[in-house]
């Protein structure tokens, strides 16, 4: 493999030599094969160019140029391309080819998810459907006809508006769809199936009536209401916040069970992983409901940030993804609690993106090269990309940011553009050093900021030293440009000074005057920049009590706990009374309950791991177990009281108050589980048996699994029997067991692979069982190496079915260079085994070889 892989570089980008004015596609779907007829109108832009179409795994039947059937001497067809030389200035090309969607396990191009025909074309799936200039800067007008058996596939969908229903012929029928908006091939979609649906409508600000449909598997239409409500809210929000209206008569969403990612924004026909559509209180957690709201909005927002204005090449991916994630985060903040949303977004960023940015697969939000583009749908491109847009929003302020986005939409509508074009619009309305800011697009790694404070004679001096880690290849990187929100407080917590500093140098000092005593610093308020703050001797207890910024207050609670955990790692008998006292004060705090639930959470193992130079999980677990136990022991009575104050087992409502109560109550129950007592097990058992929500049941199962093997088994059996026919719920079942803290997890995970519900071809199930196990650090990194061996065997096996899935699983090895020597040795052997496997995909090869470098 290694000598065949081709690396694609941004610097090599060339404009396309042809444009495609229109595409007319006809699909004849059968049980064995699908026949595709593709009629394209071309115009040549570069006199000397041959027509080189992307074509993968296609059975070519016929090539007709301006009515003339071409002999096989007129074109060459290899594994990747179809090349025709000597084509005229303008011409019509008609291609007939055959594909086999039923055999497509990669889930790219046209494939079957259960009984549903569906597509996933981003980034390069369209070339597995028909030969094409499969690149985002070739935009064309698509007309699509789908023909299939009427009984088996009564619903036939494609992009745009429905323009024609063909008279049925024998047992077959057909529908033609037309999308008037020019689009790149990656936004193409087609669906055929026997589906239920719910329908609603939305009137746009300019008075256009839009039909909204959500299609689901038979029998699931009662689980789509929340998705529909979220869609309508998102449509309204984009009109109000960005002045963006929807632009077709119809908006269709289809939920499918087999999907590699979350969802896809195909024009007028979004295709979703069913996990981000289907929900009711009995089967979905509160977190699931929130996830649906955000992904539905995300895909809807892409209609403007992605579809109307798209990417010139795939290096620009963050142009649409970073921006769209920022937009969906703001939407969720407006729909729910903005302070809780911000903390959760930062938590997610740190758990996934910070880890990636400190690993051998670190890359800038705008990568410079790739082997498989599929490997770059990363937390960096998405979540760090969103943080970069957020910094621009902070630098410009709400009003100017809106003017700048208006300008962006006005200027680039209908085009395929670059991140530079977006930044140009921002700069038109912002006072900031654009060239310097652009480093966020070019450099990788999380910058850190060292804080030094000096106070003398009423003057307070803050010295900040920035450190950007070296690039993966060892080369140096420069100091970045970012906004840093700070506040200075007096001893009562009153804010004396609140400021947004601009950080642009490696080291700089800021002076503040007129204090009677040394002020207390609150730094990186709202997490205004995605950096790591390094600050010694902080009075965390004070900030936990008095900080007026909800983010930095939360941060203080986390940092205090982290410092105590590291102290415990040095000496497990260390004095932790100060922390316990501060924690006790949090319990008394009168604040929003879902925010309080976050404040009471102890730092995750991943958070701690990121602070270790050489990673060894054992001492981390020991310290965390100890602190958890001490907290629970000291506050058992208070925690129980808080639990019962907020426990409403029969309330399954989804208003923010009910959700908050569940969040707090379940946080408290999890904290109490550290006691591993009969009493707490009994509380959890009761909650499992009598609560009406999935949120409560999941926490109860989790707690039982960590306390009492016997009770856990009973509850899990009950759960299995109750939900075995619901795959979405079974994902939770597998995930809970794979994340278990109890000895013997690997054996149980291995056995679960044989469960009749488990299916290696369904990505959600693989993620829930294998993916979750790989994040169960204690057992995945077991000193005997069996965790590594298990995962690498799975990667090799799944790579043959679904390379994208295999390469995603390989990500668990990213931590390799930081592991302690004994683990590193074991990891190395298994990783070498993966890269040397014959026929390993370029997806998996790219990730594993980077890790090994
Ligand atoms: N554009 C989609 C989204 O963020 C993600 C699709 C990525 N799919 C893939 N196979 N890489 O909403
Ligand atoms: Zn997206």
- Bridge partners of residue 416, in order along the sequence: 310
Which of 299, 387, 555, 846 does the annotation list as catalytic? Answer: 299
**Mean pLDDT lowest for which of 37-41, 233-237, 490-494?**
490-494
Q: What distance lies between CA 25 and its chain's CA centroid?
A: 32
From the list 553, 667, 642, the residue with the least C-alpha distance to 286 is: 667
Q: Give tens-digit pLDDT for 246-276.
A: 999 999 999 999 999 999 999 999 999 999 9
State the DSSP string of 92-158: EEEEEEEE-GGG--S--EEEEETTEEEEE-TTTTGGGTS-B--STT--EEEEEEEEEETTT--EEEE
Task: Tell me the two tokens of residue 272.
Answer: 């979703």
Token pair of 307 as six digits: 């579809």
In this prediction, residues 627-645 reach a mean pLDDT of 98
| % of the chain at pLDDT higher than 90 | 99
Q: Is the CB of 299 under 6 A from ligand 1?
A: yes
Ligand 1 close to Cβ of residue 321 (< 6 A): yes
Instruction: Copy the structure tokens of residue 691.
Output: 């609560």
Q: How far apart are CA 336 and CA 410, in angstroms?
A: 31
Residues 6+ apart with CB under 8 A from 5: 371, 842, 845, 846
Question: How far from 381 is each of 318, 322, 375, 378, CA to CA, in Å?
Answer: 5, 6, 11, 5
- 290 alpha carbon – ligand 2 mean position (Å): 17
Of 124, 130, 126, 162, the residue nearest 144 (C-alpha): 162
pLDDT number for residue 167? 85
- What is the rounded distance in angstroms from the CA atom of residue 430 to the CA atom of residue 587? 43
* Cα–Cα distance for residue pair 484/505, rounded to 1 Å: 13
Most informative mutation of 104, 111, 118, 122 for ligand 1 (most atoms within 8 A of CB): 122
For 823-829, the CB contacts below 8 A with 24+ separation are 823/616, 823/781, 823/783, 823/785, 826/785, 826/788, 827/788, 828/852, 829/785
- pTM here? 0.98
Residue 141 CA from chain centroid, whole number: 30
Q: Please tell me the distance from the alpha carbon of residue 552 to that of residue 485, in angstroms, as a whole number.
A: 10
User: In 3D, which of 526, 559, 528 has the Cα closest to residue 541?
Assistant: 559
Token representation of residue 763: 């990505």
448: helix, coil or strand?
A: strand
807 lines ligand 1 (CB under 6 A): no
Candidate from 291, 310, 377 with most ligand 1 atoms within 8 A of CB, to mutate:
377
Could you tell me the pLDDT band of residue 5, with boundaries at 50, 70 and 90?
A: confident
Query: Cβ distance 58 to 98 under 8 Å?
Result: yes
377 lines ligand 1 (CB under 6 A): yes
**Helix (H/G/I), strand (E/B), else coil: 300:** helix
Are 757 and 778 in contact by the 8 Å Cβ rule? The answer is no
- Domains recognised in the chain with CATH numbers: 8-194 (2.60.40.1730), 310-442 (1.10.390.10), 448-529 (2.60.40.1840), 536-634 (no CATH), 635-700 (no CATH), 724-853 (1.25.50.10)
**Res. 1 pLDDT band, cuts 50 70 90:** very low
Q: Which residue's alpha carbon is at the smallest distance from atom 6 of ligand 1?
A: 264
Reading the block at residue 619, the tokens are: 């001492």
CA distance 537 to 588: 25
Calculate how far, in angstroms, residue 261's C-alpha sits from the geometric centre of ligand 1: 6
User: Nearest-CA neighbor of 737 among 765, 759, 695?
Assistant: 765
**pLDDT digit string, tens, across residues 805-853:** 999 999 999 999 999 999 999 999 999 999 999 999 999 999 999 999 9
Residues 288, 698: Cα–Cα separation, whole Å = 12
State the helix-helix crossing angle for 709-723 and 678-690, rounded to 10 degrees.
Answer: 10
Give residue for tokens 């064995």. 32
Q: Quick count: other Cβ atoms within 10 Å of Cβ 47?
A: 7
Our measurement of the distance from residue 54's CA atom to the centroid of its chain's CA atoms, rounded to an integer in Å, reads 28
Measured in whole angstroms, the distance separating CA 571 from the mean position of its chain's CA atoms is 38
Question: 383 CB less than 6 Å from ligand 1?
Answer: no
pLDDT, position 650: 97
Query: What is the whole-number distance in angstroms between the Cα of residue 259 and the centre of ligand 2?
Result: 14
Q: Is 785 left (phi over 0), alpha (psi -120 to 50) or beta?
A: left
pLDDT at 415 > cutoff 60: yes
Ligand 1 atom at shortest distance from the alpha carbon of 804 = 10
Q: Could you tell me which of 195, 187, 374 has the C-alpha nearest to residue 268?
A: 187
When the pLDDT of each residue in the chain is averaged and rounded to a whole number, the result is 97
How far does CA 671 lie from the centroid of its chain? 28
Which residue is it, tokens 């990417």?
311
Ligand 1 centre and the CA of 272: distance in Å? 10
Residue 556 has pLDDT above 60, yes or no: yes
- Catalytic site residue 299? yes
Are 715 and 753 spatial neighbours (Cβ–Cβ below 8 Å)?
A: no
Closest C-alpha among 25, 124, 140, 24 to residue 80: 124
Assigned token pair, 236: 């309204």
Asked whether 387 lines ligand 1 (CB < 6 A), one says no
> Which helix (H) or strand (E) segment is 275 a member of?
none
| Band (220; pLDDT cuts 50, 70, 90) | very high
User: Cα–Cα distance between 297 and 344 in angstroms, integer?
Assistant: 17
**Other Cβ atoms closer than 10 A to 652:** 18
CB 271 within 8 A of CB 263: yes
Bond prior to 123 in cis (omega within 30° of 0): yes
What are the two backbone dihedrals, phi and then psi, of residue 156, each rounded to the nearest 5 degrees? -125, 120
Residue 260 in contact with ligand 1 by CB distance below 6 A: yes
Question: Ligand 1 centre and the CA of 128: distance in Å?
Answer: 17
Tokens 């809970």 -> residue: 736
Least distant ligand from the CA of 322? 2
CA-based end-to-end distance of the chain? 16
For residue 119, which of 61, 64, 177 has the smallest C-alpha distance? Answer: 177
* Cα(772)–Cα(412) distance, integer angstroms: 41
Q: Is 264 in the pocket of ligand 1 (CB under 6 A)?
A: yes
Model confidence over 128-178: pLDDT tens digits? 999 999 999 999 999 999 999 999 999 999 999 999 999 888 899 999 999
Task: Give the tokens for residue 422.
Answer: 């977006």
Q: Which atom of ligand 1 is nearest to the CA of 295?
A: 12
Instruction: Please report which residue ranges of 243-316 form alpha helices under DSSP H.
Output: 286-301
Task: Look at residue 343 and tell me whether its pLDDT is greater than 90.
Answer: yes
For 716-766, how does the pLDDT look when each residue is reduced to its tens digit (9 = 90+)? 999 999 999 999 999 999 999 999 999 999 999 999 999 999 999 999 999
Tens-digit pLDDT profile for residues 281-309: 999 999 999 999 999 999 999 999 999 99
């Amino acid at each position: 493999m290694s000598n065949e892989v081709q690396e694609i570089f941004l610097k090599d980008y060339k404009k396309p030599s042809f444009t495609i004015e229109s595409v007319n596609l006809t699909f004849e779907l059968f049980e064995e094969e699908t026949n595709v007829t593709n009629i394209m109108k071309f115009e040549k832009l570069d006199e000397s160019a041959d027509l080189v179409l992307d074509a993968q795994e296609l059975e070519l039947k016929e090539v007709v140029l301006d009515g003339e059937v071409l002999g096989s001497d007129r074109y060459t067809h290899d594994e990747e391309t179809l090349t025709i030389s000597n084509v005229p200035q303008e011409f019509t090309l008609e291609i007939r080819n055959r594909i086999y969607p039923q055999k497509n396990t990669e889930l790219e191009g046209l494939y079957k998810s259960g009984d549903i025909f569906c597509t996933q074309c981003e980034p390069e799936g369209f070339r597995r459907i028909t030969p094409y200039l499969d690149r985002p800067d070739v935009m064309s007008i698509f007309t699509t006809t789908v023909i299939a058996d009427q009984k088996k596939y009564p619903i036939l969908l494609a992009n745009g508006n429905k323009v024609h229903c063909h008279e049925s012929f024998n047992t077959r029928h057909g529908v033609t769809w037309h999308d008037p908006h020019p689009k790149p091939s990656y936004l193409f979609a087609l669906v055929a199936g026997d589906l239920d649906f719910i329908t609603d409508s939305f009137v746009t600000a300019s008075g256009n009536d839009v039909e909204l449909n959500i299609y689901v598997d038979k029998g699931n239409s009662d689980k789509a209401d929340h998705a529909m409500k979220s869609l309508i809210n998102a449509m309204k929000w984009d009109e109000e916040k960005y002045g963006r209206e929807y632009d077709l008569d119809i908006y269709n969403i289809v939920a499918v069970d087999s999907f590699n990612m979350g969802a896809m924004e195909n024009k007028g026909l979004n295709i979703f992983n069913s996990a981000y559509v289907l929900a009711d209180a009995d089967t979905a957690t509160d977190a699931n409901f929130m996830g649906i709201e955000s992904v539905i909005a995300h895909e809807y927002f892409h209609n403007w940030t992605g579809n109307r204005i798209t990417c010139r090449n795939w290096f620009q991916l963050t142009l649409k993804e970073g921006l769209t994630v920022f937009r969906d985060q703001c939407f969720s903040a407006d729909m729910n609690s903005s302070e809780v949303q911000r903390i959760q977004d930062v938590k997610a960023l740190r758990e996934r993106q910070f880890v990636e940015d400190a690993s051998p697969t670190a890359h800038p939000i705008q990568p410079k090269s790739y082997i498989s583009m599929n490997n770059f749908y990363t937390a960096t491109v998405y979540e760090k990309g969103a943080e970069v847009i957020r910094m621009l929003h902070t630098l410009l302020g709400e009003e100017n940011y809106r003017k700048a986005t208006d300008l962006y939409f006005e200027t680039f509508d209908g085009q395929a553009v670059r991140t530079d074009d977006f930044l140009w619009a921002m700069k038109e309305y912002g006072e900031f050093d654009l060239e310097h800011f652009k480093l966020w697009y070019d450099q990788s790694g999380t910058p850190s900021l060292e804080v030094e404070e000096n106070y003398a004679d009423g003057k307070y001096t803050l010295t900040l030293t920035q450190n950007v880690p070296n690039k993966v290849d060892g080369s140096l990187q420069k100091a970045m440009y970012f906004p840093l929100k700070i506040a200075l407080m007096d001893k009562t917590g009153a804010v004396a000074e609140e400021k947004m500093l601009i950080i642009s140098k490696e080291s700089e000092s800021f002076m503040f005057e007129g204090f009677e005593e040394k002020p207390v610093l609150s730094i990186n308020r709202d997490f205004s920049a995605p950096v790591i703050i390094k600050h010694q001797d902080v009075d965390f207890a004070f900030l936990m009590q008095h900080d007026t910024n909800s983010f930095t207050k939360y941060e203080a609670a986390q940092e205090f706990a982290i410092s105590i955990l590291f102290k415990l790692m040095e000496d497990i008998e260390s004095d932790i009374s100060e922390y316990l006292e501060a924690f006790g004060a949090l319990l008394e705090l009168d604040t929003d309950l879902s925010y309080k639930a976050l404040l009471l959470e102890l730092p995750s193992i991943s958070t701690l791991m990121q602070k270790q130079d050489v990673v060894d999980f054992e001492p981390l677990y020991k310290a965390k177990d100890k602190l958890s136990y001490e907290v629970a022991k000291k506050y058992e009575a208070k925690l129980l009281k808080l639990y019962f104050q907020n426990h409403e087992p029969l309330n399954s409502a989804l208003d923010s108050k009910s959700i908050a109560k569940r969040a707090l109550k379940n946080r408290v129950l999890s904290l109490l589980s550290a006691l591993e007592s009969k009493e707490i097990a009994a509380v959890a058992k009761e909650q499992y048996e009598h609560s009406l929500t999935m949120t409560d049941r999941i926490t109860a199962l989790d707690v039982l699994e960590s306390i009492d093997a016997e009770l856990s088994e009973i509850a899990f059996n009950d759960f299995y029997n109750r939900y075995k026919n619901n795959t979405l719920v079974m994902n939770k079942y597998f995930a809970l067991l794979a994340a278990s803290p109890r000895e013997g997890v690997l054996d149980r995970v291995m056995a679960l692979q044989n469960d009749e519900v488990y299916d290696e071809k369904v990505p959600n199930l693989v993620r829930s069982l294998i993916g979750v196990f790989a994040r169960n650090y204690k057992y995945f990194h077991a000193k005997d190496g069996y965790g590594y061996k298990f995962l690498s065997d799975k990667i090799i096996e799944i790579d043959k079915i679904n390379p994208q899935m295999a390469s995603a699983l390989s990500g668990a090895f990213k931590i390799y260079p930081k592991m302690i020597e004994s683990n590193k040795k074991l990891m190395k052997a298994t990783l070498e085994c993966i890269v040397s496997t014959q026929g390993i995909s370029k997806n998996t090869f790219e990730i594993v070889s980077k890790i090994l470098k």
